[in-house]
Amino acid sequence: MRRSGGCIVRLEVTGHAGFARPGEDIVCAGVSALVQAAAHGVVRHAGAKATVHDEPDGAYVLEMLEPNPRAQAVLETTLSGLRAIAAEYPRHLSVLVSTGRRGARAEHNRPRKGA
């Protein structure tokens, strides 16, 4: 996630959780459900202007085009949910929040292979 002026302006999901095989991965399913619900909530219910890119490789990007307080509530709730999943499955999910000033900081670090 990226913040600007205290607001979440971008939500990006990349990579694979690796908890289980594709189609059986509960970490992936939880993250996917949260992120897709956030996109629907931001655009359809909060009426925010945003772009959504759902790539075939599994990457998903939601970018806010203008500030919207209702959309921020949805995005903050999504961030809270992602943090909860990362706390339960720290080896399979990292949550990064970038403020633009000092770059991204890890909320929950996923250990590197071989570490």
Catalytic-residue membership of 40: no
**List 16, 40, 45, 53, catalytic entry:** 16
Catalytic-residue membership of 7: no
Q: What is the DSSP string of the chain?
A: -EEETTEEEEEEE-S---SSSTTT-HHHHHHHHHHHHHHHIIIIIS---EEEEE-TTS-EEEEESS--HHHHHHHHHHHHHHHHHHHH-TTT--EEEE-SSS-EEEEEPPPPTT-
**Catalytic residues, which ones?**
16, 28
